[in-house]
Amino acid sequence: MIETAAPHAVRNALGDDPRLTDEHRALRATVREFADHVVAPQAYHYDAQRTLPMSIIAQMGQLGLFGLPFPAEYGGGDRDYLSLCLAVEELARVDQSIAVTLEAGIGLGVMPLFRHGTSEQKARWLPDLLAGRALAGFGLTEADAGSDASGTQTTAREDGDDWVIDGTKQFITNSGTPITSLVIVTAVTGEVRRADGSLGKELTCFIVPTGTPGFTVLPGYDKVGWHTSDTHPLVFRGVRVPKENMLGERGRGYANFLRVLDEGRVAFAALCTGAAQGCLEQAVDYAKSRVVFGHAIADNQHIAFTLARMQARVHTARLAYYDAALKMEAGMPFKTEASIAKLVGSEAAVANAHDASQIMGGYGYLNENAVARHYRDSKILEVGEGTTEVQLMLIARSLGLEQ
């Protein structure tokens, strides 16, 4: 049962990154303290209750975390995207569910509005979302649509001054919390002619406010991990929204959500890195304090080498997401780097959770231990926001290989 943070020497074993500013370091320290002293002590309780702790979400809002990468004119923090990634990493060290609430809340909930919304849409929705007083979900995934958006079955048709939406979505994060204010939904609005002359589906995004008649949030899933994260299937039956609720241009839904996913993968990679780091910290702390046959198990070369490999994974994952985030901020192409960061980070998290659990033996199998939760939680990191196979496909394409 280990919930306390490991010595800071573990965190800084490789020194600080010269690309981080003093503002970056101060933010990281603030969020780390919040994670260690507010989130970690309550993580087991809320995980067992399978409840998103709204008091913690409110405190994250007060810290300004939900507004970090957005302009001050909407109530944002005027910080860069790397700042968001640093905050997500620090939260994920102790509780992946809390981290993904922030990551998805911004990357999937707010970013589409910020990138593609009208001035009226931004003025209406962004202030509460950036303050953490509200959350938003992104309704993309369906039973037959996720990586393959052409499988989208949800439709939207024009009817007078409204759009009428029918269909279902699944695995939608932040869609049923007490403060969820809206869900952004992708829907088929017609057909488009592809470059090769064939017909494809025209996808458009819509803002659907919570409580709209016909919009039903079904009970949450019974998941292997991420027990605290809010995740639901959604049903839309004759849901009417005014035409001004269309988000972005008609037919640009596919292109717009690809941009959203590329950006989201960078922050998601930071979440993966935090999970891997958390496992490393707990394992080092345990290995130094656990005495067997008169010696700390850390003195065993096999244990020491395992911890060394865990550190190497964390370091590599962190460098990968730093690189992707900084290229994104500089306006450079970052799609491939985002996929690499997500791939490397998710594999590091899964491997470190396995190794940490093995080092800690029976203690690593108790749910009250953060490592056990990381062991359950980390599997989804190889699936969410693009599976491992999707990342490999995208990386292969960047090499000129047809996949």
Tell me the domain boundaries of the chain.
Answer: 8-130, 136-251, 255-398
Neighbours of 333 (CB within 10 A): 11
Sign of the CA dihedral with 268 first, then 272, 277, and 279 last: positive
Is the distance from CB of 111 to CB of 240 less than 8 angstroms? no
Half-sphere exposure of 59 (CA within 13 A, CB side): 13
- For strands 231-242 and 162-173, give the pairing: antiparallel
What pLDDT was estimated at residue 16? 78
Whether CATH 1.10.540.10 fits 8-130 = yes
| Residues of the chain below pLDDT 50 | 1-7
- Give the tens place of pLDDT for each residue, 45-76: 999 999 999 999 999 999 999 999 999 999 99
What pLDDT was estimated at residue 150? 78
Active site residues: 385
The fold of 255-398 is: Butyryl-CoA Dehydrogenase, subunit A; domain 3 (1.20.140)
What pLDDT was estimated at residue 5? 46
User: Would the pTM of this model clear 0.85, i.e. be above it?
Assistant: yes
Q: DSSP labels for 314-339? A: HHHHHHHHHHHHHHHHTT---HHHHH
Q: DSSP labels for 267-328? A: HHHHHHHHHHHHHHHHHHHHHHH-EETTEEGGGSHHHHHHHHHHHHHHHHHHHHHHHHHHHH
What pLDDT was estimated at residue 2? 35
- Give the tens place of pLDDT for each residue, 322-367: 999 999 999 999 999 999 999 999 999 999 999 999 999 999 999 9
> What is the CATH number assigned to the segment(s) 136-251?
2.40.110.10
